[in-house]
Structure 1
């Protein structure tokens, strides 16, 4: 690993790195299903009720993973077709994907006239109605921080400018950061640079916007592909391992990180300590 440069700004990937994804999504789906099945006001059909009752927490956990994977495919297809990504469209598709996957499991019953309207509608007897589905579809706007995130950032803020750098749009990221009270000094998204990571335009544009040189920047991420893109632009690459977050384990062979915080260490708090900050 190379000698650490004189860093001034630390950028952070957010989804999976700063906020947890897999378990919170599964928790919310599991809880919402339980509430629907126990509600006296629920109109869940006997067939849907039986299917929902047979869904274990582990199955909801896997469902959340499939949901996220489906959205990742949508993003990849958009990149391949248009060499751009409309992150608001991705947010909209996330709801459509939830609707599609639940219908495949027989947990919601789509309306036959769906094709004639832009609104996704469900029949009575579904596990959730449209309003409840919309609320579930927004789970990605309110993902909770990892236990070390807020304290670690408070420590890092003593010495560095901390900045989000996420593949999403500004309004969503500001809402998520405010919702979870994550103490970033600045909120940047790839949408600000009309591109998406790992395109160099995002990393270099973010450094320029902060008024610093790339070698004065670090990227913290739980995804090696993101770190590879940042490192190619001159950033210092800090890998913070998070459970089930690495989507490209084959990249471990490339020795990408300049610094690595292992999964059994204390995340951002361990990072602050490694960067020479006195930990409270």
Structure 2
């Protein structure tokens, strides 16, 4: 158990809202697994699939920044994932136009086929016994729904970027979610494995719970480690968080 920071003195949250990629599901292993198969199909097994996954994910924030900065209208993450895939292929000297569109479509949907971390389902199930649990993800609804059904994730509601029409860490992503839930920002707790996400949530008035996922980047240091703060709760897993929040 990692322990919490003064949690006994804090108000209990009314609702728990979860980041999904990296916090609840292991994106890197899933994207590497599928990319290995597709790279073989296009005769590029020489490319390391885990490194390919990292480069694909590395385009995530820049792609969303164009929407946040009004460079382009809002589009769902599935659209951005396809564009990010084409950009990653180009980075490896592969022209996406030369790849079968059916293959590209299936490859870009690798994000729909991610598996939960081993503690995720039991942890969420325990937390749900006491709190409403919702997604607060940049993933679109169809994407989140497929991940949930594949992994048996017991969400009470799927919320996030597509519902609010804003990508995290835009403040509206957090405040809009609280409003939809008829909750004050301070009654909503973001659960995430990313310090940058939690920092933005805290600036918007939310409670914060950090879940450590040391293998999210394959054991490498997280890119936002410099944004670490003393969060209201800090846990080693979702089952540890359930223990700290008094969930049987």
**TMscore range, shorter length:** 0.7 to 0.9
Q: What does 1:33-72 correspond to in 2, within 5 Å?
A: 33-34=39-40, 36=41, 49=43, 52-55=44-47, 59-72=48-61
1:86 paired to 2:74: yes
From 5, 25, 31, the counterpart of 1:25: 31
Q: 209-218 or 60-69, which moves further after superposition?
A: 209-218
- Secondary structure at 1:138's aligned position in 2? helix
Note the residue ranges of structure 1 that are not aligned, 5 or more in a row: 37-43, 111-119, 123-127
Tell me the distance in 1 between the aligned counterparts of 2:112 and 2:238.
Answer: 22
From 101, 111, 124, the counterpart of 2:88: 101
> RMSD of aligned C-alpha atoms?
2.2
Report how many aligned residue pairs link the two structures. 237
Deviation at 1:221, TM superposition (A): 0.4
Deviation at 1:53, TM superposition (A): 4.2
1:250 paired to 2:206: no
Return the index of the structure with the highest Cα Rg: 1
Q: 214-223 or 193-202, which moves further after superposition?
A: 193-202
Deviation at 1:104, TM superposition (A): 4.1
- Secondary structure at 1:198's aligned position in 2? coil
- Secondary structure at 1:159's aligned position in 2? coil
Note the residue ranges of structure 2 that are not aligned, 5 or more in a row: none
Larger RCO of the pair (alpha carbons < 8 Å, separation 6+): 2
Deviation >6 Å, runs of 4+: none
From 222, 235, 248, the counterpart of 1:261: 235
Tell me the distance in 2 between the aligned counterparts of 1:81 and 1:234.
Answer: 24
Query: Which residue pairs with 2:143 in the alignment?
Result: 172
Tell me the distance in 2 between the aligned counterparts of 1:21 and 1:193.
Answer: 23
Query: Which residue pairs with 2:241 in the alignment?
Result: 271
TM-score (norm 1): 0.76
